[in-house]
Amino acid sequence: MDQSNAPSPALRASRKLDSPLPPPDSSVRQTIRPRLVPVSEEMRHLCALLAREILRWPDVVARPMFGMRAFYRGSVIFAMLPGKRAMETPRSIAYKLLHKWRAFELQDGRDIDSALARLDRAYARAI
């Protein structure tokens, strides 16, 4: 490094530029990211139908997240629907109940009512 561009010793000490990173804490559990998989056009269509219905519910907004759409009731997330990607399997939607994420597999359009029932339960608890 050119001496004229080098930070002063006081600045280096205040920024701790020369201090090594602390060793990793083995007591901190690393979160494993869920596997994101591509979805079919049919699944995108089914999720668009679900999204259209969910967005009619009071105080619901959707935001893009990791190739999916996250649905919030106010500031609380309660569902994730595939857009370009899905969690775990190409036919699954995700919803949150009792602080745990759960998945539901949509095989075809006949599963829309079951999916809406699960999403409704998650919505009701997202307060």
Identify which has the larger pLDDT, 45 or 12: 45
What's the average model confidence in pLDDT over 106-118? Answer: 97
Q: Give the pair of three-digit tokens for residue 40.
A: 């079919």
Q: Give the pair of three-digit tokens for residue 33.
A: 């990211």
Q: Is residue 18 part of a domain?
A: no
Range of the domain at 81: 27-125
Q: Is residue 50 part of a domain?
A: yes
Buried b / exposed e over 24-33, threshold 16 CB at 10 Å, is: eeeeeeeeee
Identify which has the larger pLDDT, 31 or 81: 81
Nearest in space to 57 (alpha carbons), one of 40, 74, 34 = 74
Q: Is residue 22 part of a domain?
A: no
Q: Is residue 68 part of a domain?
A: yes
Long-range CB contacts (within 8 A, 24+) of 81-84:
81/47, 81/50, 81/51, 81/54, 82/39, 82/43, 82/44, 82/47, 83/39, 83/44, 83/47, 84/38, 84/39
Q: What's the pLDDT score for residue 10? A: 53
Q: Is residue 70 part of a domain?
A: yes
Q: Is residue 3 part of a domain?
A: no
Q: Is residue 112 part of a domain?
A: yes
pTM, rounded to two decimals: 0.73
Question: Does the pLDDT at position 72 exceed 80?
Answer: yes
Q: Is residue 19 part of a domain?
A: no
Q: How many structural domains does the chain have?
A: 1
pLDDT digits (tens, 9 = 90+) for 15-71: 444 444 455 555 555 566 667 899 999 999 999 999 999 999 999 999 999 999 999
